[in-house]
Amino acid sequence: MSNDVTPKSALDVAIARVFEHLANVSPETKDYADTVDQLNKLYKLREVDHKIDASKSVSKDTLAIVGANLAGIVLIIGHERINVIASKALGFVMKLR
């Protein structure tokens, strides 16, 4: 079993390829500097990609709040269905319009 990390996206594959190329290039050459620039650009793209992925997911706290609100609405509707308002004042309020 190997401990190699498998890339998760095409961007990770590109970064891995740049690292492989970098291992075969001498640090004093212009090609090395260009490759490092490309690597920096790929890392910036990956940061943006991760931010987009994070914005698509919904946190567990938000789901809990939504669930509690829906449960409260169901309880209120159930209570209003069972305990109908039978006051004559409600009819009077409707006539004032």
User: pTM for this structure?
Assistant: 0.46
Query: Between these two residues, 80 and 16, which has the higher pLDDT value?
Result: 16
d(CA 35, CA 47): 19
One DSSP character per residue, the chain reads: ---PPPP-SHHHHHHHHHHHHHHTS-TTSHHHHHHHHHHHHHHHHHHHHHHHHHHHS--HHHHHHHHHHHHHHHHHHHHHHHS----HHHHHHHHT-
Per-residue pLDDT tens for 28-67? 889 888 989 998 998 888 888 777 666 677 788 888 999 9
How far the first Cα of the chain sits from its last, in Å, is 79
Is 97 a residue whose pLDDT tops 60?
no
